[in-house]
Amino acid sequence: MFRALTIAGSDCSGGAGIQADLKSFSANGVFGMSVITAITAQNTQGVFGIQDINEDMIRDQIRVIFDDIRVDAIKIGMVSKIESIKAIGQALKEINDIPQIVLDPVMVSKSGFKLLSDNAKETLIKELFPIATLITPNLPEAEEILGVSIKTLDEMKEAAVKLKELGPKYILVKGGHLEDDATDLLYDGESFTYYKQERIDNKNTHGTGCTLSSAIAANLAKGMNIKDAVKEGKRYVTVAIEHGIELGHGVGPTNHFYELYKLANIE
């Protein structure tokens, strides 16, 4: 069975973070493992606190997994402080054959809570971008990384080119914040691939970024090429959003197992 590892923060409400990643791995037919970087107190209404995991423990989690189990792909999500980023970079660079890495540069929650500490952006770029197979920033994240405004598809393309110069092999800029259709674009250093999607009328989108990046990682773990991995990941997360779960009093989660539940006649 193919295996994928997520390195990210915990969401106690189950909609995003490690919990979303593991659900996404399972739904896409991959055995999931996790390295927890931080514990968050959050629900459908927002993030209310973060407790970082000691960097030595982060490093130890990575080490013991790779000492014992083959890892076919890695997804990296929320890493909130400089020391944690450095610990991850050091631990992964010590691995002889690093698996493909999907890096979701999480910076701010949907509710506006800062998930990346001050001055950590430069460390994230320096330590993790060069070893990433793919990075998956949304428009606000791409704007924060580059210090530019991105409002159009042409500006997304320009941003992708600049992001590629920072080290990742592939760039997926997500266009969910565009005013028109939610077009994502993949850049490989030479050409662009567009993934067009009409907007879905469903407010329950908590954890969509985590779900997409982990689905792509699962597809890479199974041996898909990057374009197919993104295409299938987009298809999966679109279905999950269409059937998002009405949960709590705020923005509910996507339905990670909708297709499997349908096959099993579970409502």
Based on the residue annotation, tell me whether 210 is a catalytic residue of this protein.
Answer: yes
Which residue, 101, 184, 104, is CA-closest to 137? 104
Based on the residue annotation, tell me whether 152 is a catalytic residue of this protein.
Answer: no
Which residue, 249, 209, 241, is CA-closest to 108? 209
Catalytic residue among 14, 15, 17, 207: 207
Based on the residue annotation, tell me whether 208 is a catalytic residue of this protein.
Answer: yes
Length of the chain (residues): 267
What are φ and ψ of residue 32, in 5° steps? -105, 140
Catalytic residue among 77, 121, 210, 211: 210
Q: How many CB atoms within 10 Å of residue 134?
A: 24
Catalytic residue among 40, 136, 208, 238: 208
Based on the residue annotation, tell me whether 209 is a catalytic residue of this protein.
Answer: yes
Q: Which two tokens stand for residue 190?
A: 């030479």
Catalytic residue among 174, 233, 238, 252: 174
Catalytic residue among 6, 37, 205, 238: 205
Catalytic residue among 9, 175, 209, 252: 209
Q: How far apart are the first and last CA of the chain?
A: 28
Based on the residue annotation, tell me whether 207 is a catalytic residue of this protein.
Answer: yes
Query: Which residues pair with residue 8 across a beta bridge?
Result: 36
Which residue, 7, 25, 130, is CA-closest to 77? 7
User: What contacts 140, CB < 8 A, 6 or more positions away?
Assistant: 107, 108, 177
Q: Would you call 199 helix, strand, or coil by DSSP?
A: coil
Instruction: Give the integer Cα–Cα distance in Å for 92 and 89.
Output: 5
Based on the residue annotation, tell me whether 164 is a catalytic residue of this protein.
Answer: no
Which residue, 186, 142, 189, is CA-closest to 165? 189
User: What contacts 193, CB < 8 A, 6 or more positions away?
Assistant: 185, 186, 227, 230
Residues noted as catalytic: 174, 205, 207-210
